Chains A and B, each alone.
Chain A
């Protein structure tokens, strides 16, 4: 794994001004690494800030704090720097029907990236290559099709081909299969997996579906109200979740590894009214059941720090977990 092509976010913050002078902290301190050759899932409920995080990583939204860097080089603001960055980090959107200009043929849609970056040599070959890597074979058959003549799965492949044509190191995919029919999803996910295995592509897959993370991701980060509350290898986070929020999310899935379903009351609070102390406290089942009694002071008063890029692979932003975990660690 070449470290010089790692996409990193450090203490990333994105705030939006709202009418009435309130400020929504959509992304509120996020540390995240995505390296080539790994698939990282970013999971959370809608409104948790995962899409804003993705847009900021792509330079489509301006960070109000912290930094995004690629290969150790901070993401510049200049058009030229952004352009160079975008050859390396590409986007796949949720809705492939909207992501393709209805007036452009498949060929034009895929060649668009090449034209933007002024890559003019053997354009047809590059387009054909990208289409076949995305699983549209033979590529020539699709050159002249318009998006409305393709099925949903084929359209998403065209979008992926449009990203692949620039030979990026990292793909950021925002709910890449959410708008596709269930039986077609697997094919698109297999494609992402194959691109990772064969071509060493890295991917950040944003999803609300933990099953999807289980199918393809190596690591997973669980986001709650603008902050990552737990991250680590998929096997550990999903089969032995440690943050109460992750436990609740996993518990409501069918045949869940968490025995009793924990249905949280209420809904995700507004990003302009993030509770003080631990942001999950008002909905936390451990606080409600009294399980967190001995750390309650901390839960109410201390914001668990941003999960840093630690040597530790499995990180949890929970006061209770830290107390519970210490004796275990010492014993080991």
Chain B
């Protein structure tokens, strides 16, 4: 069952530098009980896309296209309906949990708050009990309900954020770099928790990260974004292991597999820097940094097309069946 669907979504910011396109035509689907990974670097539009789902973007952003949650367009629904959806339909876990928690309120109160706001009939003691259960579920002792955010470690705060996101039983969770600031071991703990929740409760999860290796271990499907577009899409593990777009290949190479002799003493990487969304190059926006670019790439931007099975790629070279990595 399709839970969330992006249909030709465009997001354009209007600011002092004129109109800057942040997202340029994205089509994606998330199934219930599945995990979609969105990979890309800062400025590629992945966080803008996440914010667009709950209409959290600033007024200067113009969103076109359709974002369907359970078949209902989030972009056109009324504010009352949207408020309801924000609690029970979908919730977001941001990175940087320290700033998202209220420093002067106990954890218990913050976890219980959305439940009380959402369900007026719920008594405070019931809410506290449910908060306790939630905390235990994310692997924190119930005694932590009485702690203040600064008394918790980074990993614990991130767990609290996840508990808060779960408070109203949402169908969809969006995790925006939710594990980026965490250490490997704590990250592994949180990822294990998240995948467990997806399996057990059949929620849909959109996981946004710059770390393709994290996505490959948790996600079913992965979409790689570059300059506001999805440039490659497919089963997560395959995208990571055998990229069909030179950009995903480079992104994957930034997180080498230990024991792989090809990456030993050979850090992969791309020349040049991510493009400025306000000044995108003509043709394929990845062309200036691409090692396999051909003449066509300068003339027109490739569409995201099927290259094999469930694999899609927006690269002329890959679409012709050629390898996208040199050597």
Residues in A neighbouring B257, C-beta threshold 8 A: 211, 253-255
Docked Cα-Cα span, A91 to B163, in Å, equals 41
Docked Cα-Cα span, A216 to B264, in Å, equals 7
B188: Cβ under 8 A from any A Cβ: yes
B183: Cβ under 8 A from any A Cβ: yes
Q: Please state if A186 and B267 are interface contacts (CB–CB under 8 Å).
A: yes
Asked whether A190 and B267 contact (CB < 8 A) given A182-B211, A263-B189, the answer is yes
A185: Cβ under 8 A from any B Cβ: yes
Closest residue of chain A to B264, judged by CB? Answer: A214
Q: Which of B248-256, B295-303, B310-318 contacts A (4 or more CB under 8 A)?
A: B248-256
Residues in B neighbouring A209, C-beta threshold 8 A: 184
Residues in B neighbouring A189, C-beta threshold 8 A: 267, 269
Residues in A neighbouring B187, C-beta threshold 8 A: 252
Asked whether A187 and B270 contact (CB < 8 A) given A215-B264, A252-B185, A252-B188, the answer is yes
Closest CB in chain A relative to B288 CB, distance in Å: 12
Closest residue of chain B to A188, judged by CB? Answer: B269
Closest residue of chain B to A234, judged by CB? Answer: B264
Closest residue of chain B to A264, judged by CB? Answer: B185
Docked Cα-Cα span, A235 to B192, in Å, equals 27
In this complex, which of B186, B189, B256 has the most chain A Cβ atoms within 10 angstroms of its Cβ? B256
Q: Please state if A187 and B256 are interface contacts (CB–CB under 8 Å).
A: no
A193: Cβ under 8 A from any B Cβ: yes
Q: Please state if B192 and A263 are interface contacts (CB–CB under 8 Å).
A: yes
Residues in B neighbouring A183, C-beta threshold 8 A: 41, 247, 250-251, 254, 269-270, 274, 289
Q: Please state if A210 and B153 are interface contacts (CB–CB under 8 Å).
A: no
Closest CB in chain B relative to A101 CB, distance in Å: 22
Docked Cα-Cα span, A263 to B240, in Å, equals 22
A208: Cβ under 8 A from any B Cβ: yes
Docked Cα-Cα span, A136 to B156, in Å, equals 42
Q: How many residues of B contact A (CB 8 A)?
A: 45
Residues in B neighbouring A257, C-beta threshold 8 A: 258-259
Residues in B neighbouring A40, C-beta threshold 8 A: none
Q: Please state if B183 and A254 are interface contacts (CB–CB under 8 Å).
A: no
Asked whether A253 and B184 contact (CB < 8 A) given A239-B259, A267-B153, the answer is yes
Docked Cα-Cα span, A265 to B139, in Å, equals 10
Closest residue of chain B to A196, judged by CB? Answer: B265
Asked whether A184 and B216 contact (CB < 8 A) given A211-B255, A257-B258, the answer is no
Docked Cα-Cα span, A152 to B41, in Å, equals 12
A-B pairs with beta carbons under 8 Å apart, 21 shown: A45-B184, A151-B273, A182-B210, A183-B274, A185-B269, A186-B270, A189-B267, A211-B256, A215-B256, A215-B266, A215-B267, A216-B265, A216-B267, A235-B264, A252-B188, A253-B184, A254-B213, A254-B216, A255-B257, A257-B258, A261-B188
Chain A residues within 8 Å of B, Cβ to Cβ: 45-46, 151-154, 181-190, 193, 208-212, 214-216, 234-235, 238-239, 248-250, 252-257, 261, 263-265, 267-268
Chain B residues within 8 Å of A, Cβ to Cβ: 41-42, 153, 155-156, 183-189, 192, 210-214, 216-217, 240-241, 247, 250-251, 253-260, 263-271, 273-274, 289
